[in-house]
Structure formats: C-alpha cells, structure tokens
Amino acid sequence: MAHQPDQPRVAIQVALATPEQQPILANLLELYAHDFSEFHPIALGPDGRFGYKSLEEYWSLPDRHAFLFAVDGNLAGLALIKKGSEITRDPSVWDVREFFVLRSFRKRGVGSAAAHEIWRKYEGPWEVRVIKSNVSALSFWQRATSTFTRNPVEPAKIEKDGQHWNVFSFESKRADNK
C-alpha cells in the first residue's frame, strides 16, 4: 500500500505536557519563534531569547492545554490550545494558539497526526489561524483540516489589527463518542 502524505510513517506520541516539562516547551517555543519570525516581526529580547510570556497559563488556567509530541521517543513538536477564539472572540471555540513541528519531522505526516489526535480529544468548534504570509502553513492546515473532517475546509479571510489571516473553522466530535 502506498504511503499517504497525511499519514505518518513513524510512531507518534502526543501527550499533555506536565508543569515539569515547561522548560522543554520554552526551548521548543524559541525554535518556533525563530521560524515564525520569517513571516511576522518578533523582537528578540536583550537576553537573546524571544520568550513566551503566557506559557505558565497552560497549567494555571483550566481551558488551556500544552502538548508535546514525539516520534519514536524523540521530541518532534508542540501544540498550545485554548478555549476562546483569538480572531472572532467566540468563547466556545477551541483555538490552536501555537503549533510547531521540528523541521526534521516535517512532510512526514507528523503534524497532521498530532493535530488530529488533539482535535479528537476536545469536541466542539475549532479554529486554526494562519497569517497570510505563511504560505507553507496555509497549505499544511488546508490538508490537515480537510483530511480530519473528510471534507474540504476553506479558510475565511479575516483582517484583525492590521494583520491578514486565513482562519479554518471546523467541528470535532470526540473519539469516544463514535
């Protein structure tokens, strides 16, 4: 059977991050910010780090969740999700706040598999926003959301605070409700 582009070739583990893993997430967020600075201006701090001010909220606020994913036991990426849309301000929406896959694991189905697993854990409406200039992310999220829903998901084009976004909106049903 031929490999499908959105199906992983390797074993992927997706787990809620523990408070003790906060330094690991902080390190991965530095790599993420560096990659993202290609599309959006992010200031480097005087300590040589980008930083992520609200990271501790993912363990102190009930509707925020931090995930780490690994491939064959090796760190491969992270996801930060929260309840409440960053763009539409809809409080019922699950929002993919940050999502990052290390370059060495991209184009292997790792990101889609991780996203799908997370979406299955939290039922209800979801939004994934992509800044207009991040063309590769737009293509990735188009595939990931459409594969997950088994229907094409076309992004809404939204401008907020002078930024242009593509926002994918879709519904998830819990895996255990099947």
Is 4 a member of any domain?
no
pLDDT at position 175 is: 57
Residues 40-48, mean pLDDT to the nearest whole number = 83
Is 7 a member of any domain?
no
Tell the burial category of 19 from Cβ atoms under 10 Å away from its Cβ (0-12, 13-18, 19+).
Answer: exposed
Residue 41 has pLDDT above 80, yes or no: no
| CATH number, domain with residue 143 | 3.40.630.30
Is 1 a member of any domain?
no
Distance CA 87, CA 126 (A): 12
- Measured in whole angstroms, the distance separating CA 73 from the mean position of its chain's CA atoms is 20
pTM: 0.88
Is 5 a member of any domain?
no
The per-residue pLDDT for range 100-146, each reduced to its tens digit, is: 999 999 989 999 999 999 999 999 999 999 988 888 899 999 999 99
Number of domains in the chain: 1
Is 17 a member of any domain?
yes
Q: Which domain holds residue 40?
A: 12-177
Is 3 a member of any domain?
no
Q: For CA atoms 53, 127, 173, 115, give the dihedral sign.
A: negative
Other CB atoms within 10 A of residue 11 CB: 10
Is 69 a member of any domain?
yes
CA dihedral 110, 115, 120, 124 (to 10 degrees): -170
**Is the CB of residue 102 less than 8 Å from the CB of residue 75?**
yes
Is 110 a member of any domain?
yes
Distance CA 16, CA 66 (A): 6
- Measured in whole angstroms, the distance separating CA 177 from the mean position of its chain's CA atoms is 23
